[in-house]
Amino acid sequence: MLTYTLKRLLQGIVTVWFIATATFVAMHAVPGDPLANERATTEQIRRNLEQRYGLDRPVSEQYVVYLEGMLRGDFGISFTQENRRVNDIIRENFPVSATLGILAVTYAALGGILFGALTALFRNRLPDLVIMFLVILGISVPSFVVAALSQLALVDMNAFLGFSLLPVAGWGTLRHMIVPSMVLGLGTMAYLARLMRSSMLEITNSDFIRTARAKGLPPARIFLKHQLRNAILPVVTVLGPAIAAITTGGFVVELVFAIPGLGRSFVEAVQQLDYTVIMGTTVFYGGFLVSMVIVVDLLYGWIDPRVRLE
């Protein structure tokens, strides 16, 4: 187990390096001048700006400088938010996105597993149809519509109650976290529910379950130890990337609910061609994703002992 983990960590570092390089190349290949602004600048000012951000050096040199910084853990200074270090930006925004993401994933996982299992149990009967209908709705309505509608619902609810039970936007207290994370997790919950359902259905019809029943094992044990445990595997596989995706993909939710998260910073950085923020966030995201994948793979091995970790 230990050697496996170490090996994976090493591979993870190499992967992150690849990610950084690919992003660097892509970024510099995209047209657009990160220093351009609405008001044109003179030659001298442009040169000074380039010097300040190190853009006057050849691209290969910039790459080396950047890698060196990365090894030291320094992602440089943001182009658009001048004087702010990318490390600071990530440090301030990531916990917010992480909180949102963790809650969203927890909602999604719990809801997905429970609802998926329910529908598999009551296959083709009423609960199945109802839940499946909701699931379809959940995935066919785009996230910005859900976010906008839920905010509207909050406003109406507060108006109806006469006081502000849940805040309509913003971040900072427990009450601020509830609705945005639900909205964020909705799509993934629907997906996980479906996955769980199909997985459960297959397991239920499989031979070893029939054998277990035939053997006369108590139904409780069959369900928990065999059906659920095996059916969860695809869900666990998906969960790793899902966590990472949710954490930086919360752009729409962060915009609508005025949440200062990394998703929003990242999209704005791409639009502004803020090189350092793009690189820093991507590398950070990459590292986070790789770690999540490692955790999930280890978890996989624990849940299903047949999967020997080589």
Of residues 265-294, those binding another protein (CB under 8 A):
265-267, 270-273, 278, 282, 285-286, 289-290, 293
Number of residues that bind another protein (CB under 8 A): 136
Is residue 188 within 8 Å of 176, Cβ to Cβ? Answer: no
Binding map of another protein across residues 67-106, x = CB under 8 A, - = no contact: -------------xxxxx---xx--xx-xx--x--xx--x
Assess 48 for contact with another protein (CB under 8 A).
yes
C-alpha to C-alpha distance for 61 and 24, rounded to whole angstroms? 12
Contacts of 201 (CB under 8 A, 6+ apart): 120, 123
Assess 61 for contact with another protein (CB under 8 A).
no
C-alpha to C-alpha distance for 120 and 183, rounded to whole angstroms? 25
End-to-end CA distance of the chain: 9
Residue with smaller CB distance to another protein, 61 or 202: 202
C-alpha to C-alpha distance for 46 and 40, rounded to whole angstroms? 9
Assess 243 for contact with another protein (CB under 8 A).
no
In whole angstroms, the minimum distance from the beta carbon of 72 to another protein comes to 19
C-alpha to C-alpha distance for 150 and 73, rounded to whole angstroms? 39
Assess 119 for contact with another protein (CB under 8 A).
no
Task: Work out which of 43, 60, 215, 216 binds another protein, going by CB under 8 A.
Answer: 43
* Stretch binding another protein (CB under 8 A), from 59-67, 68-76, 264-272: 264-272
C-alpha to C-alpha distance for 23 and 139, rounded to whole angstroms? 30
Residue 77: strand pairing partners: 85
Binding map of another protein across residues 148-187, x = CB under 8 A, - = no contact: xx-xx-xx--xx----x--xxxxxxxxxxxx---------
